[in-house]
């Protein structure tokens, strides 16, 4: 089934947002003020509350609102988050409001805009970041089914997506339970009162700060280079693995890694550790903390100790840097780590890793199921709003 298409400006009034000055009198007045971050949390749904609110003066001097029953769309950083308003909402210059000017089912167009994100992003312009201009948005063509069809499609998608979202939420709860189980297993196995508790610097020597220079020459056949995004507490994530020229790796040879070293994230997911596997022996790294292989403690046990809930609590309690989302070599050196007797370490490692591996496999299965659910959700929306799936 096909429907006529018209420019968005014939269906909606486009309203530009803004940000008032930092004057305290402009803020905390109870008027919701949406940013792309707020829209990202409610993407494809409704928005009622926001991180920050405006006063009446802040609204009048620096922003704009749309009434309930409108849409707010992020038009930069990134382009394409969309949410439906249930009451008056203001928004910043990274968003645009869409107020219906003809009778329509706003839910239908919420689904439509969420389905054409690629088209909207392709219309973005800019060198620093892409932005969808008012004119580009207003000229985007949208299909216009009869009102009854709009309502039927929206009703159908509300029911179907709600069921999928409920399944996604349950899968998310399972992931949370698995993570709690993983943490409990690590703590139970490692934090045995019989084991010595040592500062990391006394077990593996003082950690060193990895290379902070990001001016690498990328090379498809070059030396692997680990970054923070590659380090997970279940191991090394090889997706988006950077490769740098041999010349750069040689120039930064002080940060070359050996199998069995432990690398720790400095910022972002600060304090997360992983063991360098044999196939990445000789890799380089950037913006990570390096702990060279110790003769006193197996690297896998050292890594699990750093990733344990107890070590993380020590970090949070004792480091101002960690509170700011950063972590440094000195912080790492002060971490307490349990040290089982040498003759017990292999057994502890094998028991711990066997259990953690089962938990990781279960987690990976759930992530695959989540991906399929999201694909199914999007396929339903696409089929319904394009008329491929007749629901009226």
| Spatial distance between the Cα atoms of 210 and 216, rounded to a whole number of angstroms | 14
| Spatial distance between the Cα atoms of 275 and 183, rounded to a whole number of angstroms | 17
What residues form DSSP beta bridges with 198? 337
pLDDT at residue 322, rounded to an integer: 45
Q: Which residue range(s) make up the domain with 212?
A: 196-339
Asked whether residue 105 falls in the same domain as residue 238, the answer is: no
Asked whether residue 108 falls in the same domain as residue 200, the answer is: no
pLDDT at residue 295, rounded to an integer: 86
Count how many residues are written for the chain.
392
Give the domain CATH number at 58.
Answer: 3.90.220.20
- Report yes or no on 330 lying in a domain: yes
pLDDT at residue 324, rounded to an integer: 44
- Report yes or no on 9 lying in a domain: yes
| Spatial distance between the Cα atoms of 68 and 57, rounded to a whole number of angstroms | 21
- Report yes or no on 122 lying in a domain: yes
- Report yes or no on 367 lying in a domain: no
* pTM confidence score: 0.80
pLDDT at residue 235, rounded to an integer: 87
Which of 315, 339, 363 marks a domain boundary?
339
Asked whether residue 278 falls in the same domain as residue 212, the answer is: yes
pLDDT at residue 115, rounded to an integer: 96
Along the chain (392 residues), what's the average pLDDT of each consecutive run of 10 residues? 91 97 95 97 95 96 96 95 97 97 97 96 88 96 95 97 96 95 90 91 88 70 89 86 82 85 86 92 90 92 89 62 62 90 95 92 96 96 92 72
Distances (CA, A) of 267 to 160, 256, 323: 39, 20, 11
Asked whether residue 138 falls in the same domain as residue 210, the answer is: no
| Spatial distance between the Cα atoms of 60 and 348, rounded to a whole number of angstroms | 64
User: Which secondary-structure segment (H or E) carries 301?
Assistant: helix 299-307
Which of 81, 111, 144 marks a domain boundary?
144
- Report yes or no on 190 lying in a domain: no
Distances (CA, A) of 107 to 29, 46, 89, 100: 29, 10, 17, 11
Residue 100 CB neighbour total at 10 angstroms: 17
Asked whether residue 116 falls in the same domain as residue 45, the answer is: yes
Helix axes 147-190, 309-318, angle to 10 degrees: 100
Asked whether residue 140 falls in the same domain as residue 268, the answer is: no
Q: What angle do CA 185, 190, 195 make, to 5 degrees?
A: 155
Which of 144, 164, 181 marks a domain boundary?
144
- Report yes or no on 334 lying in a domain: yes
Asked whether residue 201 falls in the same domain as residue 140, the answer is: no
Q: Are 164 and 373 in contact (CB under 8 A)?
A: yes
Distances (CA, A) of 366 to 106, 115, 360: 33, 25, 10
Asked whether residue 208 falls in the same domain as residue 121, the answer is: no
- Report yes or no on 372 lying in a domain: no
Q: What is the pLDDT of residues 326-362, one digit of tens each?
A: 678 888 898 889 999 999 999 999 999 999 999 999 9
| Spatial distance between the Cα atoms of 326 and 298, rounded to a whole number of angstroms | 26
Asked whether residue 222 falls in the same domain as residue 107, the answer is: no
Exposure of 271 in the CB half-sphere (CA atoms within 13 A): 25
What residues form DSSP beta bridges with 291? 262
Q: 277: which DSSP letter? A: P
Asked whether residue 201 falls in the same domain as residue 334, the answer is: yes
Asked whether residue 133 falls in the same domain as residue 204, the answer is: no
Asked whether residue 243 falls in the same domain as residue 314, the answer is: yes
Q: How many domains does the chain have?
A: 2
- Report yes or no on 375 lying in a domain: no
pLDDT at residue 27, rounded to an integer: 97
């Amino acid at each position: 089934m096909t429907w006529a298409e018209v420019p968005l400006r014939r269906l909606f009034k486009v309203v530009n947002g803004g940000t008032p000055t930092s004057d305290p009198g402009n803020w905390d007045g109870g008027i919701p003020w949406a940013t792309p971050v707020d829209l990202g949390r409610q993407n494809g749904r409704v928005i009622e509350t926001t991180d920050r609110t405006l006063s009446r003066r802040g609204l009048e001097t620096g922003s704009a609102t749309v009434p309930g029953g409108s849409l707010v769309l992020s038009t930069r950083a990134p382009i394409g988050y969309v949410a439906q308003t249930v009451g008056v909402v203001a928004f910043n210059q990274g968003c645009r409001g869409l107020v219906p000017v003809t009778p329509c089912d706003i839910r239908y167009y919420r689904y439509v805009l969420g389905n054409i994100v690629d088209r909207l992003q392709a219309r973005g312009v800019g060198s620093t970041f892409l932005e969808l201009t008012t004119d580009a948005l207003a000229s985007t063509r949208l299909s216009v089914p009869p009102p009854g069809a709009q309502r039927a499609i929206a009703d159908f998608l509300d029911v179907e997506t709600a069921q999928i979202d409920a399944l996604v939420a349950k899968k998310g709860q399972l992931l949370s339970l698995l993570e709690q189980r993983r943490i409990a297993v690590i703590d139970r196995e490692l934090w045995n009162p019989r084991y010595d508790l040592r500062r990391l610097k006394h077990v593996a020597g003082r950690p060193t700060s990895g290379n902070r220079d990001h001016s690498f020459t990328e090379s498809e056949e070059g030396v692997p280079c680990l970054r923070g995004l590659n380090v997970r507490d279940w191991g090394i994530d090889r997706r988006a693995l950077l490769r740098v020229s041999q010349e750069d790796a040689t120039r930064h040879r002080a940060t070359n890694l050996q199998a069995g070293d432990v690398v720790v994230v400095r910022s972002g997911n600060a304090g997360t550790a992983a063991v360098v596997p044999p196939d990445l022996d000789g890799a380089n790294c950037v913006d990570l903390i390096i702990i060279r292989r110790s003769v006193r403690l197996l690297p896998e046990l050292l890594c699990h100790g750093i990733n344990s809930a107890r070590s993380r609590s020590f970090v949070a309690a004792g480091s101002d840097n960690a509170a700011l989302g950063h972590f440094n070599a000195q912080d790492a050196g002060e971490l307490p780590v349990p040290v089982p007797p040498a003759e017990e370490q292999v057994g502890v490692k094998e028991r711990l890793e066997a259990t953690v591996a089962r938990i990781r496999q279960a987690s990976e299965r759930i992530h695959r199921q989540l991906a399929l659910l999201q694909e199914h959700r999007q396929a339903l929306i696409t089929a319904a709003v394009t008329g491929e799936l007749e629901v009226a």
